[in-house]
Structure 1
């Protein structure tokens, strides 16, 4: 499976600034409570993701 920021899901499909390749999908990780700061890092229930940190 292709899963780095320069080949996300397919060859030469680059993720944008602020995104990581999570499960072959470019995902913003700065404010995403399911992928906070990195792939699959979930914040506790009710906690917000702010600038890649839960809290």
Structure 2
């Protein structure tokens, strides 16, 4: 997955929470438009980010 395959649609700097939306489809489980919640932590030397994908409920 490339960085251009998702966009940040919301960011809460005080909590480090971000909302991401896929801009490209990868499979039926990961279609374009699917949204995820993730976390970001900034340090003086690096940016750490993580997203845990749960099965979509349709």
TM-score (norm 2): 0.24
- Structure label with greater radius of gyration: 2
Give the TM-score of the pair, scaled to structure 1: 0.24
Structure (1 or 2) with the greater strand fraction: 2
Structure 1 or 2: larger helix share?
A: 2
